[in-house]
C-alpha cells in the first residue's frame, strides 16, 4: 500500500457501510483520517464502523432528504470539528430494462439517489469547506456515465449528470482550495450486482479489455490520492479506472 498522508483529516463517505464505500473508508482510515459513514442502513454501518476501528462513526442518513443531510452534517461537525473530505459514493443500480419499459418512478428513484443525493450533500457541506478554506470532494461516477449502458439508461444518465456536476462545482470552488473530482470505475463484484441481471453483468465484463472487474481496493487507492493534499491542481476532472474500456 502506498503511503498517503491524511493525518488530522476528517471525512464523510456516503454509502460507506459496504462495497466501494467500505473499501474507501478503510483506506482513508489507514492513511490517518477519521471517517463518518453516512448510510441508510444504520445497523450495517454500525457493524462496519466497529470492524474498522474507533476512527469511524456511523450516522443514518437518507441522502435525498435535505433536512436529514443537514442533521448528519451537524452531527459530524460536532464529533470531528470539521469536514475536510467528502466522498459521494451512495448509489443504486436500478432495474435493468430498456427505456420504453422503464417505469417513471424507477427512473426518478435512481436519479434521486445517484444525482440529487450528491447535489444535496454538496450543497450542505460545501459552505463549511469554504469557511475553512480547504476541501476535497470525490464523486463516485461510473463508466456507464461516459458510455451509456443499454438497459440501464437511468443509471447511466445519473452518472453522466454526476460527471457534469463535478465539472461545474470544480470550477465554482477552484479559488477556495476545494478540489472536486470524479472517478469512473468499471463494475466491481459488490452488493450492487444483486440489482442486476446476469445478462447485464456479462455485458459489462465483455467490454473490459483486462477481462476482469475492478477491485474495490483499487478504486479506494485512487480516491485516497484524490482526497489528499498531494492532489493540488486537478479539479473538475474525471479519473478513469475501467480496465481500458474507456480511454478518454
Structure-block grid coordinates of residue 62: 437518507
Q: Which is catalytic among the residues 20, 40, 155, 213? A: 155
How far is Cα 143 from Cα 239, in angstroms, rounded to an integer? 10
Nearest alpha-carbon partner for 31 in 52, 17, 45, 14: 52
Strands of the sheet containing 56-60, edge to edge, are 56-60, 34-39, 10-14, 85-88, 135-140, 178-185, 237-241
Among this protein's residues, is 134 annotated catalytic?
no
* Cβ–Cβ under 8 Å, residues 247 and 26: no
Active site positions, annotated: 155
Amino acid at each position: 500500500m502506498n503511503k498517503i498522508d491524511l493525518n488530522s483529516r476528517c471525512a464523510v463517505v456516503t454509502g460507506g457501510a459496504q462495497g466501494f464505500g467500505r473499501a474507501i473508508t478503510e483506506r482513508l482510515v489507514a492513511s490517518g483520517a477519521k471517517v463518518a459513514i453516512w448510510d441508510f442502513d444504520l445497523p450495517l454501518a454500525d457493524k462496519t464502523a466497529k470492524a474498522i476501528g474507533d476512527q469511524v462513526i456511523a450516522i443514518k442518513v437518507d441522502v435525498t432528504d435535505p433536512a436529514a443531510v443537514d442533521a448528519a452534517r451537524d452531527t459530524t461537525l460536532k464529533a470531528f470539528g470539521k469536514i475536510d473530505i467528502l466522498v459521494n459514493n451512495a448509489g443504486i443500480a436500478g432495474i435493468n430494462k430498456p427505456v420504453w419499459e422503464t417505469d417513471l418512478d424507477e427512473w426518478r428513484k435512481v436519479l434521486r439517489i445517484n444525482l440529487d443525493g450528491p447535489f444535496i450533500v454538496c450543497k450542505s457541506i460545501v459552505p463549511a469547506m469554504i469557511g475553512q478554506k480547504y476541501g476535497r470532494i470525490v464523486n463516485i461516477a461510473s463508466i456507464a456515465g461516459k458510455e451509456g449502458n443499454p438497459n440501464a439508461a437511468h443509471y447511466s444518465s445519473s452518472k453522466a449528470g454526476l460527471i457534469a456536476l463535478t465539472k461545474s462545482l470544480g470550477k465554482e470552488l477552484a479559488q477556495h482550495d476545494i478540489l472536486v473530482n470524479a472517478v469512473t470505475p468499471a463494475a466491481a463484484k459488490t452488493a450492487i450486482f444483486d440489482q442486476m441481471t446476469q445478462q447485464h453483468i456479462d455485458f459489462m465484463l465483455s467490454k473490459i479489455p483486462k477481462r476482469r472487474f475492478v477491485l474495490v481496493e483499487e478504486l479506494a487507492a485512487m480516491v485516497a490520492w484524490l482526497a489528499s493534499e498531494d492532489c493540488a491542481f486537478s479539479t473538475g476532472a474525471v479519473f478513469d479506472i475501467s480496465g481500458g474500456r474507456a480511454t478518454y
